[in-house]
Amino acid sequence: MTNLEKMKKACPNIKDNLTQCTCTYSACDKQGLCCQCVAYHRQMRQIPGCFFTPEGERMYDRSYASFCGDCG
């Protein structure tokens, strides 16, 4: 079992998280693992997709500048 499979199995909220996850990046291995997603994007100096509008999220530009433009 991979680390990702272990994390998904251990996350008690994964089903609820997946119903609310707005990320459309199909290759994302962190969908439903909000704490992992936030930690990853923070390390990359980015904002997670769920903070964006639907239109902004689909641009896949998670930069701070893109987020500010999306909110403005």
* Domain boundaries defined on the chain: 32-72
Write out 6-64 in H/E/C secondary structure.
HHHHHCCCHHHHHHHCCCCCCCCCCCCCHHHHHHHHHHCCCCCHHHCCHHHHCCCCCCH
Which of 41, 9, 42 lies closest to 28, judged by CA?
41
pTM: 0.82
* pLDDT score for 62: 97
Confidence at residue 60, expressed as pLDDT on a 0 to 100 scale? 96
pLDDT of residue 72: 76
Query: Tens of pLDDT along the chain (72 residues)?
Result: 887 788 778 888 999 999 999 999 989 999 999 999 999 999 999 999 999 999 999 999 999 999 999 987
Measuring CA to CA, which residue among 16, 68, 60 is closest to residue 41? 60
Q: What is the pLDDT of residue 11?
A: 86
